[in-house]
């Protein structure tokens, strides 16, 4: 297990959240997983939408996968999987969704990653979002990805 590199960012507006999504989207590749945690309304789906739209290079309808559990998008570099695990009752249900295979072949954006239990990828990017005033705070932990951490410094 790598030591994490951590950054805390205040995102005062939705546009700032979109900018973070674009920055991450430029650097993600198949096999990367972003785990998004935080309470309801903290911005997990908003950040996921920003990443997906930036990867696809267009305004795409990106519904929350709360009821479908997983939405997939075709990216020229490989599929993007957007999962919302809020409704899962047991971590083994992740296996039924095919997420473990997707972790190695797709870009995966996973909301409510605590539901993954032992199926959580070790080298995932962790983003914890919390409402702060009119904006949100993002605590980002990168495991073994110093280039991503450096991108936030620039």
pLDDT of residue 10: 94
Tens digit of each residue's pLDDT (9 = 90 or more) over 79-110: 999 999 998 888 888 788 888 899 999 999 99
Confidence of residue 116 (pLDDT cuts 50, 70, 90): confident
Instruction: List the helix and strand counts (H, then E) for the chain.
Output: 5, 7
pLDDT in tens, 28-77: 999 999 999 999 989 999 999 999 999 998 777 666 766 668 888 889 88
pLDDT of residue 63: 61
The whole-angstrom separation of Cα 144 and Cα 154 is 19
Kindly report, residue by residue over 125-143, the tens digit of the pLDDT. 999 999 999 999 999 987 7
CA distance 111 to 58: 22
Which of the two residues, 122 and 4, has the higher pLDDT score?
Answer: 122
Q: What average pLDDT does the segment 114-123 reach?
A: 87
What is the reported pLDDT for 2?
Answer: 40
Q: What is the pTM of this model?
A: 0.89
- pLDDT bracket for residue 1 (50, 70, 90): very low
Q: Using CA atoms, how far apart are residues 88 and 21, in angstroms rounded to an integer? A: 26
Contact criterion met (CB below 8 Å) for 9 and 23:
no
Task: Report the pLDDT value the prediction gives residue 62, as an integer from 0 to 100.
Answer: 65
Domains and CATH numbers, the chain: 13-153 (3.40.50.300)
H/E segment holding residue 75: strand 70-75
């Amino acid at each position: 297990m790598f030591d994490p590199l951590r950054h805390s960012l205040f995102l005062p507006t939705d546009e700032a959240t979109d900018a973070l999504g674009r920055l991450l989207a430029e650097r993600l590749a198949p096999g990367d997983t972003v785990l998004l945690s935080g309470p309801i309304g903290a911005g997990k789906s908003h950040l996921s939408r920003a990443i997906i739209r930036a990867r696809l290079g267009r305004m795409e309808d990106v519904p929350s996968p709360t009821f479908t559990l997983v939405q997939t998008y075709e990216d020229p570099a490989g599929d993007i999987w957007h999962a919302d695990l809020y409704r899962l009752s047991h971590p083994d249900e992740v296996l039924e969704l095919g997420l473990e295979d997707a972790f190695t072949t797709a870009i995966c954006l996973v909301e409510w990653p605590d539901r993954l239990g032992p199926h959580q990828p070790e080298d995932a990017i962790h983003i914890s979002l919390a409402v702060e005033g009119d904006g949100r705070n993002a605590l980002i932990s990168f495991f073994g990805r110093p280039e991503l951490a450096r991108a936030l410094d620039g």
